[in-house]
Chain A
Amino acid sequence: DQQVKQNSPSLSVQEGRISILNCDYTNSMFDYFLWYKKYPAEGPTFLISISSIKDKNEDGRFTVFLNKSAKHLSLHIVPSQPGDSAVYFCAAMLSPNAGGTSYGKLTFGQGTILTVHP
C-alpha cells in the first residue's frame, strides 16, 4: 500500500521554463511534507517543506503548494536550470497523533526524474 505516490516517473522541461512536480498521498494523518533532490549514489538533499497548516511555502526558485482536501502537493521550480536535473522525491511525516509510528519516519514517493534541457 503506497501511501505517497508520484505518478509521473519523468518530466522533461526547457531551461528557463517552469517545472511542476506532483505528489499525492492517501493518509490523512500526514501533517508535514518535504521535497528532496537526489543524484544517483548520493543522499537526498533537502529542498523545501510545508506544514499541513499552510497551503504554500516559497524559497527562492522553489515553491511548494499543498491542497489538503485533494491530498495533493506540488513543487514548482521557476526558472528551471540544467543543474536542476535530478530525481525529485516527495516525502511525508505522520502527525504525532498517529502515535509512536510517527517518530523519525519519512514515507517517500517513488520519485520523478526531472531533465532540464539547455
Chain B
Amino acid sequence: KAGVTQTPRYLIKTRGQQVTLSCSPISGHRSVSWYQQTPGQGLQFLFEYFSETQRNKGNFPGRFSGRQFSNSRSEMNVSTLELGDSALYLCASSSLGRGRQETQYFGPGTRLLVL
C-alpha cells in the first residue's frame, strides 16, 4: 500500500504571495491532519479534516486554510505569505478518523521557503 504523498516537495515563494500544498492519504484513510514544523516551535497542529469537514483547528491565523475532497485528498492554502511561514509542512492520515487512539502516518512533507 502506498504511503502518504505530498506535493510539491520543495517550494520557494516571496512575501505576500499565496501557496497551495497537496496531500494524498494512504488508500482507505479518511482523516487527514496537517502540521507545521519550525526550528523554534517544533511540530504544531494546523487542522484536521474528515469526510470533507474540518473537525479541529490549531492556533494559527486565518491565513492558513484547508479543504478535503470526496476522495480524501486534502489541500492546505496559505495566503499573504510571511517570512515566518517558512517551514516544513507535514500531512498525516489515519484510517477511521475516530479521533481517538489512532496512529497517524506522515508524508515526506513540503519544504516552503518564503523570501
Task: Give, as a whole number of angstroms, the nearest-CB distance from B94 to chain A.
Answer: 7
Q: Contact check, A100 vs B104: say whether CB atoms are below 8 A apart.
A: no
Q: Contact check, B101 vs A51: say whether CB atoms are below 8 A apart.
A: yes
**Known pairs A42-B108, A43-B90; A105 contacts B45 (CB<8 A):** yes
**Which residues from 46 to 94 on chain B have a C-beta closer than 8 Å to any C-beta of chain A?**
48-50, 55-56, 58, 88, 90, 92, 94
Q: What residues of B have a CB within 8 angstroms of the CB of A41 in the complex?
A: 88, 109, 111
Task: Give, as a whole number of angstroms, the nearest-CB distance from B49 to chain A.
Answer: 8
User: When chains A and B are docked, how far (Å) is the Cα of A34 from the Cα of B97?
Assistant: 16
In the complex, B99 has a CB within 8 A of chain A: yes
B-side residues, CB < 8 A to A, are 4, 6, 31-33, 35, 42-45, 48-50, 55-56, 58, 88, 90, 92, 94, 97-109, 111
Q: Contact check, A106 vs B33: say whether CB atoms are below 8 A apart.
A: yes
Partner of A100, one of B42, B55, B101: B55
Q: Contact check, B109 vs A104: say whether CB atoms are below 8 A apart.
A: no
**Known pairs A44-B106, A51-B101; A104 contacts B55 (CB<8 A):** yes
Q: What residues of B have a CB within 8 angstroms of the CB of A43 in the complex?
A: 4, 6, 90, 92, 106-109
Q: What residues of B have a CB within 8 angstroms of the CB of A109 in the complex?
A: 42
Chain A: number of interface residues, binned into ranges: 20 to 34
Q: What residues of A have a CB within 8 angstroms of the CB of B55 in the complex?
A: 100, 103-104
Q: What residues of A have a CB within 8 angstroms of the CB of B98 in the complex?
A: 96
Q: Contact check, B48 vs A49: say whether CB atoms are below 8 A apart.
A: no
Proximity string of chain A (31-60) to chain B, C-beta cutoff 8 Å, 1 when within and 0 when not:
110101000011111100101000000000
Task: Give, as a whole number of angstroms, the nearest-CB distance from B41 to chain A.
Answer: 9
Q: What residues of A have a CB within 8 angstroms of the CB of B35 in the complex?
A: 106
In the complex, A88 has a CB within 8 A of chain B: no
Partner of B42, one of A46, A95, A108: A108
In the complex, A101 has a CB within 8 A of chain B: yes
Q: Contact check, A105 vs B56: say whether CB atoms are below 8 A apart.
A: yes
User: When chains A and B are docked, how far (Å) is the Cα of A13 from the Cα of B88?
Assistant: 28
Q: Contact check, A104 vs B43: say whether CB atoms are below 8 A apart.
A: no
In the complex, A107 has a CB within 8 A of chain B: yes
Q: Contact check, B50 vs A103: say whether CB atoms are below 8 A apart.
A: yes
Q: Contact check, A103 vs B108: say whether CB atoms are below 8 A apart.
A: no
